[in-house]
Structure formats: C-alpha cells, structure tokens
Amino acid sequence: MSAQMHPDEWLHVNHVPHAGQPALFLDRDGTLIENVPYLADPEQIRIIEGTEEALRQFRLAGFAIIIVTNQSGIARGLCTPEQYRGVENRLQQLLGTSAADLVYASPYHPQATGPFGIPHSSRKPEPGMFLDARHRFAVDLARSVMVGDSLSDMRAAAAAGIGRLVHVGTGHGMTERAAVCAFASDNALAIELMPTLAQIQPMVKTDPC
C-alpha cells in the first residue's frame, strides 16, 4: 500500500471529532442508503429504514459518525465530481441531526482512465480513509465500529485495526456474506452479521460468523 494522503477535496468536514473519540464508520451505498449503481441524482436517494435512529443512538453513546465510500463512478466517467457532491449534500440534509461528522470519498479506480484512473490507498479494501481519520483527527480506531455491506469494507476496516466489524445484509450484503465469513475464518476475525444498520447497538455485540 502506498503512503498517499487523502486529498482534501474528497473529505467533507461537518464537525471535527475530538481527539481520542471512537467513530462509527459507515459505507454509504447499500448500508446507509439503498444501493443505486453509480448514484448521480440526489432524487434517487432512499435512506434505509431505521438508519437515522441508529445513528442517533451511536452519537448519544459518544461516537463520531464517519462515512467512508468508494465512488469509482467518478473515475469511470459515470458521475461527475459535481454530481457526487450534490448527492452528498442532499444526503446530509436528509439525515438532519444524524448527519455525518466526516465524509470520506475515494474517486479512484485502477482500471479506469483519466486523472482518477490510478491505484490509491484511500480506495477500499485499502485502509487509507480510516488511517487518515486517525492521523488527521486522532480518532480511536481500536474503539471504533465499521458497518458495511461488502467484503472490501471488512478488509479495509480490519487492515486499519477497527475494533468491531459488522456486516449488514442490505445492498450487496447477502451476495457477499459467504465471502465475508470465509475472510473472517481465514483471519481469525469476529465479524458480526446483522440484517441492517437499524439492529446494531453501540455497546451490545452479537455472535460473529
């Protein structure tokens, strides 16, 4: 993995976490919102039921809320940076008081062409977005939680040393669940399996796969 820093233009700061604070890290598409491939239209955002209350409970428990999202549609020319930001801004408006403190996006894809068609340490399954949160904001990764619907989410979080990993069945979750459990077994990891973000409680762990 290269030592690239996360570009400032792909980090949206709504509120700075305090040093040493744990975070609830979240994938976006398929975890927070219904998965729409290469989402470019804010009108297509559909927040998954129970998301806002789950975020509220984590915030009350002292967690910062941080979105970490791959957006290869930008590299592929299927979504412009302006369209991505329009979606991001609308999502934060819809979440209201549950809006994320930080939003990290990785617009890269190594098989695309153009300026974003390169390997980059921010693109999951690399852990760059998580490590940047630790370096830049002193987020406590060991006490943090990652929730995502894909194997790449779990691999990135595990590589970063996130203390609690939760795989949800929304989005690509059920398609990737067997691979997630195989990854957990091969690496002696405890990855919790939940139907959606709504069922996850800040201080209550469930049986892993």
Q: Which residues are the active-site residues?
A: 27, 29
**Furthest CA-CA distance within the chain:** 45
- Residue with the two structure tokens 């939760």: 166
User: How many Å from the N-terminal Cα to the C-terminal Cα in the chain?
Assistant: 28
Are 162 and 177 within 8 A, CB to CB? no
Q: Which residues of 26-59 are buried (b: 16+ CB within 10 A; e: fewer)?
A: bbbbbbbbbbeeebbebeebeebeebbebbebbb
Nearest to 9 by CA among 87, 76, 84: 84
